């Protein structure tokens, strides 16, 4: 039971769900008074689907350019390249259309534009660091004046966070960059975009959203609003993700999965610290190029078991949300992966989406 704490409201104005991205974005651009809209997009979405062309057409004269050179894990080099293109385009609004790496790139570009960053080394003074006592330290600097809108095409939920992860490939180091104004002004959830996600990404990003929910629920710095919201998100993802996988053209299921991701990510909005699953995943991503969504199903069961003595009440609620009341949450988490079409790797407690590796 949460007896004391704080809820922090994000610097986000709206989430628009269940509507076509192109029309909604055009309306948002008009609302914000933007004139030069720069798109950072998934190359696969840009090259193999009509969706980016639809958006460019809807923007008309407000479209200032498209950048699709987005690397997995969002690299510093990619940030500098995208910033250069956005600066040359005279961008006054960034729109990120794609998965987590695309959204993170959009966020770091807003920071680079604000501070005139033109080379990788200049990012060093802006990264969050951990001091000798293990506390996170966020540098004080001006937030972006060129803001962004996010249109996600997967379910991980990183767009609901004011921070982003960027990898320094020279040092094999993934770092966090944060400012409240790096939060998207608006997030547009278009169910028609989710069917383009490959099945491993659909399942893996849905699992990653549940990771956000589980770590917020089990955090010592959570709050009642976040707890109630992420539990609802877990229930929805458990119900709707298998349906979205079974019929990739079921737009009702796709839309409900997007709403589930939004709810699962509520802890990110409120700055509830994530736990060991995220910390380990960030290290493996930056150092070994392991996709985040492969880490969650492998590690979460063990992490829940390790933390069970300290998070018993939260884990009981989690097991119930996973449809297995009275069971250990670690076992419920492990079993929940199997109906989603997962297979064991190394031991019976480790599951990854079929076809992911």
Tens place of pLDDT for every residue, the chain, 357 residues? 777 888 888 889 999 999 999 999 999 999 999 999 999 999 999 999 999 999 999 999 999 999 999 987 899 999 999 999 999 999 999 999 999 999 999 999 999 999 999 999 999 989 988 777 767 778 889 999 999 999 999 999 999 999 999 999 898 888 999 999 999 999 999 999 999 999 999 998 999 999 999 999 999 888 999 999 999 999 999 999 999 999 999 999 999 999 999 999 999 888 888 887 777 776 776 676 666 667 777 778 888 888 899 999 999 999 999 999 999 988 888 876 554 444 443 333 333 343 332
In the chain, which residues fall in CATH 1.20.1090.10?
A: 199-353
Distance CA 121, CA 296 (A): 31
List, in sequence order, every residue forming a beta bridge with 353; answer none if it has no partner: 342
Nearest to 62 by CA among 81, 41, 89, 85: 89
Residues ≥6 apart with Cβ < 8 Å to 331: 301, 324
Give the whole-angstrom CA distance, residue 157 versus residue 293: 12
The domain made up of 199-353 has a fold known as Dehydroquinate synthase-like, alpha domain (1.20.1090)
CATH code, 14-191: 3.40.50.1970
- Per-residue CA distances from 269 to 81, 176, 179 (Å): 28, 15, 12
Token pair of 76 as six digits? 């510093």
Eight-state DSSP code of residue 127: B
Contact between 65 and 89 under an 8 Å Cβ cutoff? The reply is yes
Is the pTM here over 0.85, yes or no? yes
């Amino acid at each position: 039971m949460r007896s004391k704490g704080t809820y922090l409201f994000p610097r986000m104005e709206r989430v628009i769900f269940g509507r076509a991205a192109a029309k909604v974005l055009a309306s948002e651009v008009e609302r914000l008074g933007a004139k030069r809209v720069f798109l950072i997009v998934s190359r696969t979405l840009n090259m193999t689907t009509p969706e980016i062309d639809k958006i460019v057409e809807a923007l008309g004269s407000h479209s200032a350019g498209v950048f699709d050179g987005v690397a997995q894990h969002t690299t510093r080099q990619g940030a500098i390249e995208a910033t250069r293109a956005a600066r040359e385009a005279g961008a006054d609004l960034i729109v990120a259309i794609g998965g987590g790496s695309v959204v993170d790139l959009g966020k770091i570009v807003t920071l680079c534009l604000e501070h005139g960053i033109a080379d990788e080394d200049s990012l060093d003074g802006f990264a969050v660091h951990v001091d000798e006592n293990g506390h996170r330290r966020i540098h004080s600097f001006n937030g972006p004046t060129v803001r962004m809108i996010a249109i996600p095409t997967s379910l991980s939920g990183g767009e609901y966070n004011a921070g982003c992860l960027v990898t320094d490939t020279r040092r094999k180091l993934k770092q966090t960059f944060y400012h409240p104004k790096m939060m998207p002004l608006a997030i547009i959830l278009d169910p028609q975009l989710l069917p383009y996600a490959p099945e491993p990404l659909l399942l893996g990003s849905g699992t990653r959203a549940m990771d956000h929910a589980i770590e917020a629920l089990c955090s010592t710095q959570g709050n009642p609003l976040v707890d109630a919201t992420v539990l609802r998100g877990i229930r929805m993802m458990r119900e709707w993700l298998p349906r979205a996988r079974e019929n990739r053209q079921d737009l009702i299921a796709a839309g409900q999965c997007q709403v589930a991701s939004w709810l699962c990510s509520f802890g990110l909005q409120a700055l509830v610290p994530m736990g060991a699953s995220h910390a380990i995943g960030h290290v493996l991503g930056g150092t070994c190029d392991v996709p985040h969504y492969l880490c969650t199903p492998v590690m979460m069961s063990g992490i829940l078991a390790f933390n069970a003595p300290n998070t018993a009440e939260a884990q009981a609620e989690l097991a119930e949300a996973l449809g297995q009341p009275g069971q250990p949450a670690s076992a419920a988490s492990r079993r929940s992966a199997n109906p989603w079409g997962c297979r064991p790797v190394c031991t019976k407690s480790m599951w990854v989406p079929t076809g992911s590796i």
